[in-house]
């Protein structure tokens, strides 16, 4: 058995200084701030930024080569449908590259996507409060 | 302002069936199980598996080309130092590729790394309970 947890997401940063500034511009609180580590206090999992070469060294693997395409996404779940639009505007103002303007999804929610300056992808999502996804998120996070 | 949350991590799966089986072998509970979506109930952020092409379509971006190197890591924080070793053995038994055997870190914790069958990287970490990282994790998750 492996404990069923996803507590920290660490992004391997090519330019940690500028990436740190981007996430700070989202209004996110930095709780650990070192030259080579930024940790942002989120609800759900924490976000860490760590230089890519150091991340690779730490994991005993090669660093990925730069690639602009999407391999995974990180989601910010919001409480109201129209908060998707508000949050996306906040990200755009901070310098995010918007790849998908807010759209009502066929499954009943509303979503948008943006990329940070190093092409890490975020989804802003509202899911109906009576959905199994909403219940699972509430169980996972401190919002339960 | 963008809500300070990281509630769901979605991995773009090349073979969702086999990747789903891998995470199920970790002992993780699947709360949403569709042909093209697997959602695992974790503490912190949820883990979703979604076909890579569909994730790219959803985000209006190109899918990343396959790459074995590390770009980011997902962490499983455990409660006791020796639980790092136990959890890593659990992952290995499930078919994980271990890239770093458990090591005591100079900052006082203990960590190990493994990759899933599609080269998504996980860190198993114990951090001292009196650390700012431990406090931030407790605030972020339902364990507070």
Domains, chain B, ordered by start = 1-66 (3.10.180.10), 68-144 (3.10.180.10)
pLDDT at A68 over 80: no
For residue B119 the two structure tokens come to: 């080269």
pLDDT on residue A95: 97
How close is the nearest chain A Cα to the Cα of B69, in Å?
Answer: 4
How close is the nearest chain A Cα to the Cα of B3, in Å?
Answer: 7
Identify which of A98, A61, A76 has the alpha carbon closest to the alpha carbon of residue A143.
A76
pLDDT on residue A52: 98
Identify which of B107, B105, B37, B77 has the alpha carbon closest to the alpha carbon of residue A59.
B105
Rounded Cα–Cα distance for residues A143 and A44 (Å): 9
Helices of type H across A26-129 = 52-59, 83-93
Q: In B, which residues are within 8 Å of A139 by CB distance?
A: 41, 142
pLDDT on residue B3: 98
pLDDT over 90, % of chain A: 94
- Does any CB of chain A come closer than 8 Å to the CB of residue B112? no
For the question of an ipTM over 0.90, the answer is yes
- Does any CB of chain B come closer than 8 Å to the CB of residue A22? no
Rounded Cα–Cα distance for residues A47 and A57 (Å): 19
Mean pLDDT of chain B: 96
> pLDDT tens digits, residue range A94-115?
999 999 999 999 999 999 999 9
Q: Are B83 and B102 in contact (CB under 8 A)?
A: no
> pLDDT tens digits, residue range B27-74?
999 999 999 999 999 999 999 999 999 999 999 999 998 877 999 999
Residues 50-79, chain A, touching B (beta carbon < 8 A): 52, 55-56, 58-65, 67-78
Q: Are A113 and A100 in contact (CB under 8 A)?
A: yes
Rounded Cα–Cα distance for residues A123 and A76 (Å): 6
The residue behind tokens 């190109």 is B62
Q: What is the pTM of this model?
A: 0.97
> pLDDT tens digits, residue range B63-103?
998 877 999 999 999 999 999 999 999 999 999 999 999 99
3-state secondary structure of B139: helix
Q: What is the mean pLDDT of residues A63-76?
A: 92
3-state secondary structure of A42: coil
Q: In B, which residues are within 8 Å of A5 by CB distance?
A: 42-44, 76-78, 141
């Amino acid at each position: 058995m492996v404990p069923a947890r996803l507590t920290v997401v660490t992004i391997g940063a090519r330019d940690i200084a500028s990436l740190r500034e981007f996430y700070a511009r989202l209004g996110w609180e930095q709780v650990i701030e070192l030259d080579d580590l930024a940790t942002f206090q989120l609800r759900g999992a924490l976000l860490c930024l760590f230089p890519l070469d150091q991340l690779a060294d730490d994991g005993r693997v090669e660093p990925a080569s730069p690639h602009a395409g999407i391999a995974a996404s990180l989601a910010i779940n919001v409480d109201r449908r129209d908060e998707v639009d508000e949050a996306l505007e906040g990200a755009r103002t901070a310098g995010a590259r918007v790849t998908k303007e807010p759209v009502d999804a066929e499954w009943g929610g509303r979503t948008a996507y943006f990329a940070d300056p190093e092409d890490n992808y975020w989804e802003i999502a509202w899911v109906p409060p009576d959905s199994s996804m909403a219940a699972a998120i509430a169980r996972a996070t401190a919002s339960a």
